[in-house]
C-alpha cells in the first residue's frame, strides 16, 4: 500500500547560477517536475510514495531516476524512452524570486507516456490512498489519454484524487484548451490546490473567496487550498474557511517548487487526519506547516532534491513564533 502515487512530468530545471568568467550565464541542472516534487516532500515527512511517468533513456533521464530514488520515491513505474529525450526547462529568476520558464518539450519524453505504460503500472494506483496529478500531462497526446485512463483507475479503486493545475502558459496550444483540462481536473478531484493566478484565470476573480465560491458552485470538491505566495493561504472545507499568513523570507532566492511543497504538506495532513472530519484547528495547523515548508524551499535552488524535513519546518516555526 502506497500513501500517494503521482503521475506526470519529470524533467530537468536548469536554474541560473551566476556568470562564467567570460560573462556568460551559468545554469545548474536541478531535478524537477511538480508531481515528483510533491512526492519528495511527502517522503521527507515519512510517507510511502511511487511515481508513474516517462523520461528519455539519456543522461538526464537516468539522473532523474537516480535522484528520485535517492529521495525514497519508488520509481518502478518510470519508463525510459529510447526515442524521445528528457524534457528540459530553463528557469529565469527575477528579483524577489519569481521566475519565467522556457521549455524544450515538443517532443519531450514526459508527453510520450502511453495508456499501455499506465496499464503496466495500474497496480500502483490501485494500491494507493491518494492519486495526485497536475495538468501538464494533459497538454498533448498520448500523455493526455494516459492521464485520463489513470484517473479512471483511481476512481474505480476508491483513491482520493488530488489535483494541482500548475498552469504553465507556454506549454498550451491555447488558453481555452488549458481551461478545459483544468475544469476536467476540477470535476475529478477530491482535493484541490490552486494558486491565486489560477483562480483569476478560471473565474476572473482576484478575490480568493469570490473565485473559490464560483468553483464550488459548479464542482463538488471536498477540500480546497488557495495559495497566494508570501501572502499566505486559505482552506475551504464544508462551511469552514480558514486563512493563515505566509512567511516572508529574507533569504528567498527563487520560488520554484514552493507550490509543490505546499501541496505535499497538505496531502501529508490529509493522510494524517483524513478529509471526513476536519475542523478549524486542524486546518490552521495544516496551513501553518505548509506555508512554512513552502517558505523554506524558496531559500534553495531546485526542489526535488532539497525538500525540507519535519525537523527543519518545526525549527523554522519555532524561530518565527
Of 2, 8, 28, the residue nearest 17 (C-alpha): 28
At 56 the three-state DSSP class reads strand
Task: Provide long-range contacts, Cβ within 8 A and 24+ apart, for 158-161.
Answer: 159/5, 159/125, 159/128, 159/129, 159/130, 159/131, 160/129, 160/130, 160/131, 160/190, 160/191, 160/270, 160/275, 161/130, 161/131, 161/132, 161/133, 161/188, 161/189, 161/190, 161/191
What CATH number does domain 2-9+33-87+107-320 carry, 3.30.530.20, 3.40.50.1820, 3.40.1190.20, 3.40.50.1000? 3.40.1190.20
Q: What is the pLDDT of residues 225-277, one digit of tens each?
A: 999 999 999 999 999 999 999 998 888 888 889 999 999 999 999 999 999 99
Average pLDDT, the chain: 95
Where in the chain are the domains?
Answer: 2-9+33-87+107-320
Q: What is the pLDDT of residue 252?
A: 87
Q: Report yes or no: 193 and 259 within 8 Å, Cβ to Cβ.
A: yes
pLDDT band at 98 (very low <50, low <70, confident <90, very high): low
pTM for the full predicted model = 0.95
Instruction: Please give the Cα distance from 165 to 8 (Å, whole number).
Output: 12
Q: Which three cell numbers stand for residue 264?
A: 505535499
Instruction: Reply yes or no: is the peptide bond before residue 107 cis, omega within 30 of 0.
Output: yes
Give CA separation, 60 vs 14, 65, 86, 115, 301, in Å.
Answer: 11, 9, 6, 24, 18
Q: What is the pLDDT of residues 129-176, one digit of tens each?
A: 999 999 999 999 999 999 999 999 999 999 999 999 999 999 999 999
Q: Report yes or no: 77 and 105 within 8 Å, Cβ to Cβ.
A: no
Q: What is the pLDDT of residue 94?
A: 64
pLDDT band at 96 (very low <50, low <70, confident <90, very high): low
Q: What is the pLDDT of residue 101?
A: 78
Q: What is the pLDDT of residue 18?
A: 87
Binning the chain into helix, strand and coil, the percentages to the nearest 5 are 45, 25, 30
Instruction: Please give the Cα distance from 201 to 241 (Å, whole number).
Output: 21
- Residues in the chain, overall count: 321
pLDDT band at 102 (very low <50, low <70, confident <90, very high): confident
Q: What is the pLDDT of residues 47-84, one digit of tens each?
A: 999 999 999 999 999 999 999 999 999 999 999 999 99
Q: Above 60 in pLDDT, residue 97? A: no
Instruction: Please give the Cα distance from 277 to 289 (Å, whole number).
Output: 19
Q: Report yes or no: 190 and 158 within 8 Å, Cβ to Cβ.
A: no
Amino acid at each position: 500500500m502506497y500513501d500517494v502515487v503521482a503521475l506526470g512530468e519529470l524533467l530537468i530545471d536548469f536554474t541560473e547560477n551566476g556568470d562564467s568568467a567570460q560573462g556568460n550565464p551559468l545554469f545548474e541542472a536541478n531535478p524537477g517536475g511538480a508531481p515528483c516534487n510533491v512526492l519528495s516532500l511527502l517522503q521527507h515527512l515519512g510517507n510511502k510514495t511511487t511515481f508513474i511517468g516517462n523520461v528519455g533513456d539519456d543522461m538526464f533521464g537516468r539522473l532523474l531516476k537516480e535522484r528520485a530514488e535517492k529521495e525514497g520515491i519508488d520509481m518502478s513505474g518510470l519508463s525510459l524512452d529510447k526515442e524521445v529525450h528528457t524534457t528540459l526547462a530553463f528557469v529565469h529568476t527575477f528579483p524577489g524570486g519569481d521566475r519565467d520558464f522556457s521549455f524544450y518539450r515538443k517532443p519531450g519524453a514526459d508527453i510520450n507516456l502511453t495508456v499501455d505504460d499506465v496499464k503496466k503500472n495500474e497496480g500502483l494506483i490501485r494500491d494507493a490512498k491518494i492519486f495526485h496529478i497536475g495538468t501538464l500531462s494533459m497538454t498533448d497526446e498520448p500523455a493526455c489519454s494516459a492521464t485520463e485512463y489513470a484517473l479512471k483507475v483511481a476512481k474505480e479503486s476508491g483513491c482520493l484524487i488530488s489535483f494541482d493545475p500548475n498552469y504553465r502558459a507556454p506549454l498550451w496550444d491555447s488558453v481555452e484548451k488549458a481551461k478545459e483540462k483544468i475544469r476536467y481536473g476540477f470535476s475529478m478531484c477530491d482535493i484541490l490546490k490552486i494558486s491565486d493566478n489560477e483562480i483569476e484565470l478560471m473565474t476572473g476573480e482576484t478575490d480568493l473567496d469570490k473565485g473559490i465560491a464560483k468553483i464550488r458552485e459548479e464542482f463538488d470538491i471536498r477540500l480546497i487550498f488557495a495559495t497566494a505566495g508570501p501572502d499566505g493561504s486559505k482552506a475551504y472545507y464544508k462551511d469552514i474557511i480558514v486563512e493563515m499568513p505566509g512567511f516572508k523570507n529574507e533569504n528567498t532566492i527563487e520560488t520554484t517548487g514552493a507550490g509543490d511543497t505546499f501541496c505535499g504538506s497538505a496531502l501529508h495532513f490529509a493522510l494524517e487526519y483524513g478529509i471526513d472530519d476536519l475542523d478549524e484547528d486542524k486546518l490552521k495547523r495544516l496551513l501553518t506547516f505548509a506555508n512554512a515548508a513552502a517558505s523554506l524551499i524558496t531559500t534553495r535552488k531546485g526542489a526535488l532534491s532539497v525538500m525540507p524535513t519535519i525537523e527543519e519546518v518545526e525549527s523554522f516555526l519555532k524561530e518565527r513564533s
